[in-house]
Structure 1
């Protein structure tokens, strides 16, 4: 038995039967460590030692949650709701609702894509943008699973294909790690190799929007966690301050590269303008941290899980076993490499973190199977994207859940991870395999 496969399977099965994902990660790590021969005490030590790997991200989420709650208290969400209701009309005009939904979908695709390449802020925009528009989505009857797939698409597709912003970092990691393992490629080769897998993501997105989640879904109009129960009173100054705070947050994040500093900058603007009262600040920060605590703890547990997986040494064993199975068949080799990549990235949950592991495995295995450099790039890039697109512990799934569950009506596993796995991982798998065969 391979410890990596068993650990990931245990984690996924427990998550699907609604065991809390943090507990599922801990039990999966313990199972993997025991099977991998680490023993109980060493597994616990490695798991707890690995928790610090996501401490910065966890604090970032907590402060962004505080900022999102503060924005909710400025009255900006109510202004947005009133504007959209005026646009849609109270007469249930279906055409206006359809146009409004189309506009929201289009804007979310653009904003989420831009967050990777044009203004590389990654998931920082989600806790700021999504909670305020939940009332609008409720009014339009939008299925939040469609929004989850839109956001995950925008957080994944641009960087695996376009060499700008986070895409340039990702492409550089792929090229550097392939070179370290004996295969030199040009950065310009990566977009060519990743074109087909990216088309797979587009196909999955279109299916999710126009087929799977096309029908309306009803949600209750609940307040955002930490927001006032009554409709918030607002002034032009408070709304203007909210807009300035959002812009300041995005600019500071871009300049500093830190979501922590960016969230603090937004809170400072709201406090300085008087839109957030000093006496309310403590409560706002506490409520924001409560809203984001789930995401933060998942990230911490995922780091411990990844540390245990690496410590077992069974990742290398998995490749050896795979090589003995596929023989000289390229089709079988590509299929098995993607399966291996899926398990590794689903367990660790970050394409950037797993590319060094995947490249170490895939370059020698791909060369032995006779794949071209472009085909190996496609296999490595696709395997990385598989983890980002559907893993319970991935930024690209945790981020959408953080925004969409701000009122407690969006389940991380069944409303984000399962939809994104079905609509993105399956097409990625198919189109990545085709790319390996034709390149």
Structure 2
């Protein structure tokens, strides 16, 4: 039990101390291995062997970064954003809520996940600065859109999430139809809505300058200095490339994001939107923008492998369940806390669900939780920690866009705000859901 708590706690503390997230995760993973009795060499080997688990995701993000930079080169993003801002400029709250709605579409209606962020957000940074929008509010809006829709709506990534829960509980001896999963997630998602409204209209509603101490050589486009919006033939070709990439993502099963990004990149070259002579330079910019995210995902996969292979996660869940007693508020709270710790370490709710289901379901059956209450606990426990984890794409994605000009801190301005505004209400509303279902 102590292995998981100490290693995840170490990762969180190091991250809060502004240690690079890759170094924080690596240190936590090695510590977990050493506490489990492995030699330093074996701990490192186990960590490195586990990094391959997110290789596809890392490659997807890098290629999406290249695709995003090439789309930005076409100029269409600046045109579209400038048109949008004609209606929204000066309305901070409405603009941030619009961003949240766009982010929601990325999970279900147009399942591209975080791929839209490096395309949409960097051109808007100058506007955020001009309107003195608190970027912590924007990070909270983006993370809400990356999480709440898949928790509730069984379409796109939501269908995958609900199927993962249904398959997990079925493997553990409980039958809950996929079509019923949403009923268990309504109350927890209401908690996320409360968190979003609190972040946008209370916590971060006041004007705030972007952090000037983190300037880098990168710079966001200055939309005020661009000419009046005019639609060019290259913009039409760019839209065709985006639609082509989306179509390939929707029809492919394995490697969908990789093939989708490659399709978009190839079409931009074919249509001469991006000249071949600029290919290396733009690819390099894309790798700089998203490569860090990809490597963090690889590192998080290594950490998760150490936790799972040493039995640290199973031990944590088993002991917590054994100590919690029968069905009740305290038991629900303990189970949700375990989900928070596990997901913070593994960095993905999708990867946490099968682990939690295998250990939670037998206990919930034995103490009298209903099937929907059990699903609510598992789904909420899996989702907790995804918002706020330094290694989660729900936080890495927003940071990649908001830090395009080097003025946004991943831990203190994305992870901490999203942890406070989503994990706390998820915890409280998850307990309520388990009590009333």
Same fold (TM over 0.5): yes
Tell me the residue number matched to 1:340: 338
Q: Deviations over 1:303-327 (max 9, x none)?
A: 0000000011122222332234223
Tell me the residue number matched to 2:165: 174
User: CA 1:187 to 1:87, structure 2 compared with 1: closer, same or farther past 3 Å?
Assistant: closer
Tell me the residue number matched to 2:202: 211
Tell me the residue number matched to 1:92: none
Alignment of 1:26-425 (within 5 A): 26-80=26-80, 82-83=82-83, 97-98=90-91, 101-219=92-210, 225=218, 236-256=232-252, 258-328=256-326, 330-425=328-423
Partners of 1:301 and 1:338 in 2: CA distance = 25
Check conservation: 1:149, 1:205, Cα contact below 8 A: yes
Of 304-313 and 141-150, the range deviating more from structure 2:
141-150
- Per-residue deviation, 1:232: 7.1
User: CA 1:228 to 1:333, structure 2 compared with 1: closer, same or farther past 3 Å?
Assistant: closer
Partners of 2:82 and 2:170 in 1: CA distance = 55
1:188 match: secondary structure: helix
User: CA 1:227 to 1:283, structure 2 compared with 1: closer, same or farther past 3 Å?
Assistant: farther
Partners of 1:323 and 1:223 in 2: CA distance = 48
> RMSD between aligned alpha carbons?
2.5
- Per-residue deviation, 1:299: 0.4
- Per-residue deviation, 1:329: 5.8
- Per-residue deviation, 1:175: 1.2
Partners of 1:241 and 1:427 in 2: CA distance = 44
Of 24-33 and 273-282, the range deviating more from structure 2:
273-282
Unaligned runs of 5+ in 1: 89-95
Alignment of 1:425-436 (within 5 A): 425-436=423-434
Check conservation: 2:388, 2:419, Cα contact below 8 A: yes
TM-score using structure 2 length: 0.91
Check conservation: 2:32, 2:307, Cα contact below 8 A: yes
Check conservation: 1:51, 1:300, Cα contact below 8 A: yes
Partners of 1:148 and 1:184 in 2: CA distance = 37
Partners of 2:321 and 2:263 in 1: CA distance = 52
Asked whether 1:7 is paired with 2:3, we answer no
Q: Deviations over 1:258-307 (max 9, x none)?
A: 22222222222322333322111111101110111211111010000000
Of 191-200 and 261-270, the range deviating more from structure 2:
261-270
Partners of 2:78 and 2:329 in 1: CA distance = 55
Q: Deviations over 1:235-254 (max 9, x none)?
A: 82333333333333323322
Partners of 1:72 and 1:223 in 2: CA distance = 19
